[in-house]
Amino acid sequence: MENQKFGLTIDEAVDRSGIGRTKIFEAIKLGKLTARKAGRRTIILSEELSDFLKSLPIREAA
C-alpha cells in the first residue's frame, strides 16, 4: 500500500486534483480551500483538497 502524504504542496495538490495552480490559488483566496503556511511553504491538507473537489458542482448530462 502506498504511503499517502497528509499535507500537500501546491504542486502536489495540482497533480492530484487535475486543477491548475491559478484555480487552486483562486479557491484559497475565495476561502473555498484552506491553506496553511509552514515557513515559506504553502500546505493543503489532503482531506481538505478532497472536500473541496467534492464541493464542486456536478456536471449536468448533455
- Give, for all 62 residues of the chain, the pLDDT tens digit: 466 789 999 999 999 999 999 999 999 999 999 999 999 999 999 999 999 999 999 988 87
Of the candidates 55, 41, 51, which has an alpha carbon nearest to the alpha carbon of residue 12?
A: 41
Angle at 29 between CA 39 and CA 60, to 5 degrees: 130
pTM: 0.84
> Quick one: pLDDT at residue 9?
96
CB 24 within 8 A of CB 33: yes
CB 13 within 8 A of CB 49: yes
> Quick one: pLDDT at residue 61?
86
> Quick one: pLDDT at residue 17?
96
> Quick one: pLDDT at residue 10?
96
10 Å Cβ neighbour count for 21? 11
Residue whose cell numbers read 491548475:
20
